[in-house]
Amino acid sequence: MRSKNPKDDMDLAAKIYKKHLADGTNSELKNLVDADWSKTGPTIAGALAFHAKAEELKAQMEERYRLRDAAYAPIKNAVDVSAKYLKGKYSTNPKKLGDWGYAIDDTPAKPRKKKES
């Protein structure tokens, strides 16, 4: 049974290709109409190399996100605490928060639709 995982599929393809080469002119796969192992087989190693590099980059990306998240935590806290402080200080004039770069939307909220009973 085939896997839906590309790596597993490529590993299987490598085994099939190895057997195909070992069987040489007697390989049953020479009878295929919709696939040509003489063209596909040599591409397997490259595909596996691309997969390995993608996995390496994925691991690097995940590590960078962990580092970013650790560095971001105190920044987020400072932004949140500052907003709370400034909202309290300028509760009668919230547009003053715009001086610090906060986006202020003073558009009146649309009235909510009443639920029908």
Q: Kindly tell me if the per-residue pLDDT of 21 is higher than 90.
A: yes
Tens digit of each residue's pLDDT (9 = 90 or more) over 82-97: 999 999 999 999 899 9
- Phi–psi pair at 3, nearest 5 degrees: -90, 155
Task: Say if residue 1's pLDDT is above 70.
Answer: no
Angstrom distance (rounded) from CA 12 to CA 27: 17
Tokens of 92: 């009668």
| pLDDT at residue 10 in the model | 97
Domain positions in the chain are: 6-91
With beta carbons less than 8 A apart as the criterion, state whether 17 and 43 touch: no
pLDDT digits (tens, 9 = 90+) for 45-79: 999 999 999 999 999 999 999 999 999 999 999 99
Evaluated on CA atoms 53, 54, 59, 63, the torsion sign reads positive
**pLDDT bracket for residue 117 (50, 70, 90):** low
Question: What mean pLDDT comes out for the span 4-33?
Answer: 96
Task: Tell me how far apart the terminal alpha carbons of the chain are, to the nearest angstrom.
Answer: 55
Query: How big is the chain by its Cα radius of gyration, in Å?
Result: 30
pLDDT of residue 49: 98
